[in-house]
Amino acid sequence: MAKAPAPNPWTKPRGEPIKGKAIPRPSRTADVQSYIPAFLKGMSLTMKHFFKNTKETMLGQTPDPVLESLSEGVTTINYPEVKRPYPDRFRGLHRLTLRQDDSPRCVACLCCSTACPAQCIHIVAGEYPEGDARRGYERYPTSFVIDELRCIFCGFCVEACPCDAIRMDTGMHATAYDSREQFIYKRELLMSFTGRDGSRESANPRHEPGDLTHPGVTREHMSH
């Protein structure tokens, strides 16, 4: 006697046929067929919110979209005339801080691009020209590019920077563009952004080579 085939564990076992449940159709009365009661009900609700919002806007009684978001009433904002306030730790678009001579604070050490998990930062380092006190001590970025579409706004670049050269305190979010090239932010654009307080320079003091407060070795100490 032949053995019964073993059940396939990947196949649903055959059971009873599926029986459908009959749903009664609603009665089509004259009110339902004409749509007039439903239309008037919807229009009354729309006009109710329209006059209520108009009154609150004229009298300045619109609830705050952040602090009173759970209160009764409409909590929409008239964007872009009215923008939602972001918290202090909001990570907005990047910016490059400047020195007092409007040169980039960045020393092209590549710490930010190395720490970036999305690999959206590309830096090309260059040497300062002959005669500059910073030549031989540090470099500067001849090219500094951030792909804002690839950025995940983790803030690792800001944490990794030893010079406070890159920040995310602009308070701005990316604008809706129509091409990918417009999301490639280059050095000049990053240097043009300001912080929320309007500052462009770094608040941390920088000890330049040759200053008495410079903690590193000087050119005189390098000669033996």
Known binding residue 116? Answer is: yes
Second-level CATH architecture of 95-192: 2-Layer Sandwich (3.30)
Known binding residue 151? Answer is: yes
Condensed to tens digits (0 to 9), the pLDDT of residues 59-114 reads 877 766 666 655 565 566 777 777 777 888 889 899 999 988 888 999 999 999 99
* Residue reference for tokens 């009684």: 61
Known binding residue 157? Answer is: yes
Residue 224: pLDDT over 50: no
Polymer length of the chain: 224
Could you tell me how far CA 188 lies from the centroid of its own chain?
Answer: 20
Condensed to tens digits (0 to 9), the pLDDT of residues 105-162 reads 999 999 999 999 999 999 999 999 988 878 887 899 999 999 999 999 999 999 999 8
Task: Report DSSP letters for 8-46, one per residue.
Answer: PTTSPPP-SPP-----PPPP--HHHHH-HHHHHHHHHHH
Known binding residue 154? Answer is: yes
Q: What is the dihedral of CA 58, 59, 64, 67, to 10 degrees?
A: -170
Q: CA–CA separation, 95 vs 166, rounded Å? A: 6
The sheet that has 184-185: what strands, in order across it? Answer: 121-127, 139-147, 184-185
Backbone phi, psi, residue 125, to 5°? -85, 150
Q: pTM for this structure? A: 0.63
Condensed to tens digits (0 to 9), the pLDDT of residues 186-221 reads 999 999 999 988 888 877 766 766 677 776 666 666
In Å, how far are 59, 112, 130, 142, 146 from 138, measured between CA atoms?
58, 16, 13, 13, 22
**Annotated domain spans of the chain:** 40-85, 95-192
Q: CA–CA separation, 74 vs 68, rounded Å? A: 10
pLDDT of residue 26: 79
Known binding residue 106? Answer is: yes
Question: What's the chain's average pLDDT?
Answer: 83
pLDDT of residue 155: 93
Q: Are 150 and 107 in contact (CB under 8 A)?
A: no
List the one residue out of 165, 155, 159 whose CA is nearest residue 123. 165
Count the alpha carbons within 13 Å of 177 in the hemisphere toward its beta carbon: 11
